[in-house]
Structure 1
């Protein structure tokens, strides 16, 4: 799960950075505000890569997905990108857990003797 989720988060990091560049063009938003918010979100992406498997890591990831969708208020394209990354986040968590379970089953089968002579 960690690999899939981290890949999604790194992709989001770049999207957030590019969205910050687009948001800078908005005359109603100050450059300082745009880069403070974008920087915090980008930093959170990196931190979540390390804590995604810890308790609450996936929930924080969902919070980031909601914030990404909500950023569509300022950069309308982010509605689409936010929903896209939320779907990717769901797939990363869902299929990542299935892969982890399959790896655990495989490791358990490999660790146990399959023939009576192996003991």
Structure 2
């Protein structure tokens, strides 16, 4: 028997959902993006260069807003197993894009992450659906339910 094929009676471990993995990873990467963007806003607080139309000059307020958004993104990354978690993740894309009001480049970078989020939702669903179809056609290699 080859190493690629399970032996009779082997318990086959269920695969993790691609949708959950993709969306969770995207939100975690966005949390890092927000931390770095917050650092940029903080560094530019006394400068007119690179600033957006919304001005926050208090370092404490900048870090509070950025930190809360980053924390929310990390928390949301852990609840992507439910449709409500994915809906909340979709709503969280708005403040990430909104950071462009503080640093205009965030409109572009945040937009890239919105596109990544949409791809994570669509591609993750597709991979999960194709895995389920494959498992239905090949029950001998399908993960055990218990």
TM-score computed with the length of structure 2 as normaliser? 0.71
1:55-97 CA distances to partner (integer Å, 9 max, x unpaired)? 3112211111111111101111110011110000000000000
1:14 and 2:32 matched: yes
Whose helix proportion is higher, 1 or 2? 1
Match among 40, 50, 53 for residue 68 of structure 2:
40
Query: Secondary structure in 1 aligned to 2:92?
Result: helix
Larger mean Cα displacement after TM superposition, 14-23 or 31-40: 31-40
1:26 and 2:59 matched: no
1:9-43 CA distances to partner (integer Å, 9 max, x unpaired)? 12111110110101112134211111111111111
Number of aligned residue pairs: 112
Match among 19, 22, 36 for residue 4 of structure 1:
22
Q: Which runs of 4+ in 1 moved over 3 A?
A: none
TM-score computed with the length of structure 1 as normaliser? 0.86
Which structure has more relative contact order (CA 8 Å, sep 6+)? It is: 2
1:58 and 2:86 matched: yes
C-alpha RMSD of the superposition: 1.4
Larger-Rg structure: 2
Cα separation, 2, equivalents of 1:104 and 1:29: 52
Cα separation, 1, equivalents of 2:121 and 2:57: 34
Cα separation, 2, equivalents of 1:16 and 1:40: 10
Cα separation, 2, equivalents of 1:59 and 1:81: 21
